[in-house]
Amino acid sequence: MKAPHLLASTLFAAAATLLTPSPSRADEAAFLTGIRQLTFEGKRAGEGYFSADGKKMIFQSEREADNPFYQIYLMDLETGDQRRVSPGFGKTTCAWIYPDDNRILFASTHLDPEAKAKQDAEFKERQSNRVRKYSWDYDEHFDLFSYSLSDNKLTQLTSSVGYDAEGAVSPDGRQIVFASNRAAYEGQLSASDAERLKIDKQYFMDIYVMNADGTNARRLTDVPGYDGGPFFSADGSRICWRRFDEKGMTAEIHTMKTDGSDQRQITKVGAMSWAPYFHPSGDYLIFTNNVNGFANFELYIVDALGKHDPVRITGTDGFDGLPVFSPDGKKLSWTSGRTANSNSQIFIADWNDAAARKTLGLDKPSTGAVAEKGTAPKPGTVEPPPGAPDLSTTSAEITPADMKQHITYLASDALQGRLTGTPGEKLATEYMASVFQQLGLVPFGDDNTYYSNFEFTAGVALGEGNKMELTSASQKMHLTSDQDWRPLSFSQTGDIAASEIVFAGYGIETPDNWTDSNGKKLEPYSSYFHLDVKDKWVLVLRYLPENLSQDRRNELLRFTSLRHKALTARQKGARGIIVASGPNSKVVEQLVPLTFDASLASSGIAAVSVTDATADRILAAAEIGKTLVQLQSDLDKGDPIQGIPLGKLKLSAHIAIAQEKKKGRNVLAVLCKGTEPDFHTAPIIIGAHIDHLGTNGGSSSRAKGGDVHKIHHGADDNASGSAGVLEIAQWLVDMKKQGKLDQKRDILFAAWSGEELGLLGSTHFCESLAKMIKGDPNAKLTGMLAAVLNMDMIGRFNKNLVLQGVGSSSWWPREIEQRNAPLGIPITTQNDAHLATDSTTFYTRGIPTLNAFTGAHEDYHMPSDTADKINYEKAAQVAKFMGLVTRSLSTTFDAPDYIAMEAPKNQGTRTGLRVYLGTIPDYAQGDIKGVKLSGVSPVGPAAKAGVKAGDIITKLGDKDIQNIYDYTYVMGEMKIGKETTIIVQREGKPVELKIVPGSRD
C-alpha cells in the first residue's frame, strides 16, 4: 500500500534483463485509454480504492490547512461529492470501504498524545525548505479504526503498541488483513534488534489477519524483513503482498491463501517491486517497480502464478504506483506524478483486459465473479422432448415460419398449459434447453446445466387430524371436517382452546372518520357495536348485506373480504372467526374452498368456514330463538344489528393445513464473447417467461364455468415471447459465426418460469446473483447487468408494438429509433417500468429494462389463447427488433444508464386506496410474518422514511401486519399527510421509522 522506505541507493540495471523490454510512451495506450486526473486539491493525494460497487473511492490527501499529514476522504464517483471521514488531526493512511458501503477502515494516530506537536514540527520542517527524501516512519501510534457513514461513529479496532496499518477488508466483510510490527514491541528483542527497531521499524513488519470487529488477530508471516501492503483477491481466496529482503534493498510480490498457507513468490526481479493488486478475475496482478531506474517507478503486470515475465504498462515520465482495478475490471486507478507540478495525485483510465491477457499469454478470457457458477463448462446432453420440432428445419434468420414452429409446440395440448412445477413446464424447459444446446450456447444454470431450479408453494390442502367440537351445558357435538366445516387457507394452525362464541353479523367495521375519494364523509358501519369478542370465536356472515344500494355496496366492498374480516376480529382480540355463507346468499358451495392465495402468512387467528346447517346447529344450541336466515334477513335490510353472545356455548378445534411444495426451473444460456461466461463486463439479458396457467387457470383465469378447467394454452402469453428468445439466439449465433458480431459483452438468454405465480423465477435469479456477488440477496444489481430486455406477449399485433419501460434509461429513445429504422414497425412507447412481468424484478434492483408487448386481447388468460390466432409476420418483426437492440448493446462497452422512477400512483387502486407509500411487496415471500419488500419507489414516502428493499413490514401505526392483506387494509385507514410509524424487520432486528403517507390522486 504505502510507498516503501527506500534504503537502497544502488542501481538495478543488471536486473532489467529479467523483465520484458520497457515499452515506449505510445505503448502505454495499448493498456490505458481515457487517462484523466481524478484528484487535484492539496499538496498530494494517493491510495485511491474503489467501493464494492465501484461508485465511490476512498483516498488519502494532504489538503487540511492546519494539518500537514494525510487525512482520509470519500469521493462519490457519480456526483463528485467528497467528505472527510478521518478525525482531521494526527496522521492517517491506508483506507478501505467495507462491502456494506457504510463503513470505512483506515489507520490513524489521532489518539497519540503528541499528535498535535508532531503536526507543528512537520510544519516547521517544511517551512525550512530543506530538501529531504520522502520516507514513511511507521509511527507506533498507528491503529486501525472503523468509521460508520450512517452515524459518524468511530470505532477503534486495534490498540497494540506498534504500527497497525495497511488494512483491507475481505470481500465478504468478515476479515481484515493488515500489516503490523507489534511483535517487536511485545517480546524481548536481542540487543542488535532493539537498536535496529530505533532506526528501521519496517524490518519487523508482518502480515496479520483478524475478524472484522478487531478480534482474533492471527499472524500470517514471520520472516525477517518487511512484509506489508496486503490485499485480498476478489473471490477472497488469496492475499497478495510485498516482501523486502532483510537489507530492505529489494522487494518481490508474493501471494498466499488467507490462512497463511501456500505462500508463493510471484516475481523475481531483484528490484523494488511493491503495491501489488489482483485483477478481479484473479488471473493476474498489477504492481509497481523501479527496475527502469531508482526513482523511475512504473506499473507492471504479472500472471498470478508468476510463469510469465512481468510486462511494463506505463511509460510516462514521473512516478506511477499504487495501482488498483475497479471491481468490474474495466478501469485502473493509480497514484501518479504526471501532474503539471509533479506532485502526486490520483489518476484513472479505462483498462484493456484483452491486451493484458494477450501480452501475458493468458488465452482464456476473464471469468469475473459471476462466472463462479462454472468455468469453461461443457454443455450436457439435453434430449429434445418427444414430439418437439426439429431445429434443423429452421432458418438462421428470424422468420414467421420459425416463430410458428416454436409457438405451435409450446402452446400444444401436449404441454398442458406449462404451469410451473408440472410435467408441462418440464417439457417446455427441456425444449428451450435442447435448442440452446444445439445452438452451442454455454449453460449457466445449476451445476453447469441449463436449468436454474427453485422451490415454491403450489397449493394448500387439509392436513392430518382436523377436528372441531361444540360443547354446551347439555350436549357435546363433534363436527366433521370437510363436511360440516373446513379451515380457511390463512387460518392459524394447531390446537384452539374451547372458547365462547359471539355472533357479529357480517363482521364489517369501517373507520370512524371515513370519507370517499373526494373527501365526502361516509356513514360508518359496525358489526361489533357493544360486543365483547376478546378470546372468543366470532361467527360472521360471508359477504355483505344483500339489499344494499349499489353505491353503498361499493362503499363497503373493501371491508368484506374474508382476510379483512379476520383482521378486524383479530385486532379486537378474538381467538377465531367462523364464516357462514347464509341462506340468502344462495352460494353453490357452502364451505369456502381451501385455495392457495398470494400470501402464505397466517391471519394470526383461527379461521374456519361452516355450512349454513352447522351455523344453525350452533344457534339452536345457544338457544337465542333465531335461525341463521332470520338473522341474515334482518341484517340484509342495511342497518347493522347489535351482536349477540351465544350463551355458554364453547367451541374447540385442532386445525391442520398442509402446504404443497413444488419445484420450477428457469432455463439460462450464454452466448459468450470469448469461450466461457465473462460477466466481468456486465452482460445483457434477453428473456421471456416460459410458464402459463396450466389446465386449471385458478384465480388468474378469465374463463367462466367449466372452461376454467380446460388447458390454458398461452400461445401469446407467453409462448410468443419464448419463441422470440429462441429465434434471437439462433440469429445472433449465426451472426457470430459469420464474424458479424463483435461482442464486447456476453448475452444471457433466459426463459423465466413462475412468472404467472408472482415473478418467482426472475426473483430467484436476482436473489441468487445478489447473494453471490454482494452477500445480500436483496442488494441492488446496478452495474452487474448492462440491461434486461423482455418479451411478454408479442404475438397478437394489432396496430402498434408497445415498448414499456422506456423511462428506465435515457438510452432507449435513440436506440428504438435506430433499431426500428430498417423495420418500420409502428411503435408506441410507455415510460413506466413497473410492470406485471419479469422485467420489473430487475428494474427495482437498479437495472434499465425494456419490455416488448403487443397488447391485451379477449383471449388473455383464457383457454382460447391458441397458436392459430398469432400474427406470425409481426411477431417475427418484433423479435427481430429486440434482436437488433440486443446486438447493439452487446457490441459496445457503453451501457444504458439507469433512471429511477416512482411507481404510478394509480396502481393497485382496485381496493379504492387513496393512500400511497411507494412500497413494492415481494409477492413470492412465502411463509413470512409481515410483508417483505422487493423494493421501494426511490422517490416515494417509504424511501424518504428510510424503508429499504428486503425489509419486512411488521407494524403500521398501531396495527400489527402479518401479511399483504393486513397491509392493504391498514393502509386504507391511514390519513394522507399525517405522519405515523412503520416498523420493519431488517437483518433480524426491528427498526422503527416515521412515514408520511402520500396521495395516489
Segment 380-384 shows an average pLDDT of 73
Residue 326 confidence class, pLDDT cut points 50, 70, 90 = very high
What is the torsion angle, in degrees rounded to the nearest 10, for the CA atoms of residue 52, residue 57, residue 61 and residue 66? -100
Segment 892-905 shows an average pLDDT of 84
- Full-model pTM: 0.51
Strands 537-541 and 576-580: parallel
Q: What is the per-residue pLDDT for 141?
A: 94
Q: What is the per-residue pLDDT for 903?
A: 64
CB 716 within 8 A of CB 412: no
Residue 925 confidence class, pLDDT cut points 50, 70, 90 = low
Examine the pLDDT at 9 and tell me if it is beyond 60. Answer: no
- Alpha carbon 440 to its chain centroid, in Å, reads 30
Looking up cell 434447453 gives 433
Residue type, position 503, single letter = F
- Tell me the helix, strand and coil percentages in the chain, rounded to 5: 25, 30, 50
CB 329 within 8 A of CB 280: yes
Residue count of the chain: 1001
Segment 692-701 shows an average pLDDT of 80
Least confident of 34-48, 366-380, 480-494, 608-622: 366-380
Segment 402-410 shows an average pLDDT of 97
Please tell me what DSSP assigns to residue 777: T
Q: How much of the chain, in percent, has pLDDT values that exceed 70?
A: 91
Segment 56-65 shows an average pLDDT of 94
CB 905 within 8 A of CB 999: yes
Least confident of 152-166, 490-504, 583-597, 891-905: 583-597
Rounded-to-integer distance, Cα 399 and Cα 833, Å:
29
Q: What is the per-residue pLDDT for 208?
A: 97
Residue 347 confidence class, pLDDT cut points 50, 70, 90 = very high
185-224: b or e for each residue (b if 16 or more CB lie within 10 Å)? beeeeeeeeeeebeebbbbbbbbbbbebebeebeebbeee
Q: What is the per-residue pLDDT for 901?
A: 87
Q: Which residues contact 521 (CB under 8 A, 6 or more apart)?
A: 513, 514, 515
Rounded-to-integer distance, Cα 133 and Cα 135, Å:
6
Q: What is the per-residue pLDDT for 104?
A: 97
Write the pLDDT tens digit of every residue in 505-560: 999 988 777 776 566 788 889 999 889 999 999 999 998 898 888 788 778 877 88
Examine the pLDDT at 207 and tell me if it is beyond 50. Answer: yes
Q: How much of the chain, in percent, has pLDDT values that exceed 90?
A: 62
Examine the pLDDT at 709 and tell me if it is beyond 90. Answer: no
**Closest Cα to residue 918, out of 894, 896, 893, 948?**
948
Least confident of 24-38, 432-446, 495-509, 909-923: 909-923
Rounded-to-integer distance, Cα 749 and Cα 728, Å:
9
Write the pLDDT tens digit of every residue in 101-131: 999 999 999 999 999 999 999 998 888 766 5
The cell numbers describing 610, all together, are: 361452516
Q: What is the per-residue pLDDT for 381?
A: 67
Examine the pLDDT at 503 and tell me if it is beyond 70. Answer: yes
Write the pLDDT tens digit of every residue in 792-851: 999 999 889 999 999 999 999 999 999 999 899 999 888 889 888 999 999 999 999 999
Q: What is the per-residue pLDDT for 914?
A: 53
Q: What is the per-residue pLDDT for 364?
A: 44
The cell numbers describing 836, all together, are: 406485471
Examine the pLDDT at 376 and tell me if it is beyond 80. Answer: no
Rounded-to-integer distance, Cα 526 and Cα 641, Å:
9
Residue 888 confidence class, pLDDT cut points 50, 70, 90 = very high
Segment 683-700 shows an average pLDDT of 89
- DSSP secondary structure of 42-110: SSEEEEEEE-TTSSEEEEEEE--TT--S-EEEEEETTT--EEE-S-SSS-EEEEEE-TTSSEEEEEE-T
Segment 368-380 shows an average pLDDT of 37
Q: What is the per-residue pLDDT for 131?
A: 52
Rounded-to-integer distance, Cα 899 and Cα 901, Å:
6
Write the pLDDT tens digit of every residue in 222-263: 998 999 999 999 999 999 999 998 888 899 999 999 999 999
Segment 331-339 shows an average pLDDT of 94
Q: What is the per-residue pLDDT for 187?
A: 80
Q: What is the per-residue pLDDT for 927?
A: 64
Examine the pLDDT at 328 and tell me if it is beyond 60. Answer: yes
Least confident of 71-75, 506-510, 700-704, 795-799: 700-704
Per-chain mean pLDDT for the chain: 87
| Maximum mean pLDDT: which of 13-17, 210-214, 702-706 | 210-214
Rounded-to-integer distance, Cα 249 and Cα 6, Å:
7
Q: What is the per-residue pLDDT for 386?
A: 84
Q: What is the per-residue pLDDT for 519?
A: 65
Task: Specify which residues 517 forms β-bridges with.
Answer: none
Q: What is the per-residue pLDDT for 63?
A: 93
CB 781 within 8 A of CB 883: no
Write the pLDDT tens digit of every residue in 594-643: 876 545 556 789 999 999 999 999 999 988 899 999 999 999 988 888 89
Please tell me what DSSP assigns to residue 715: I
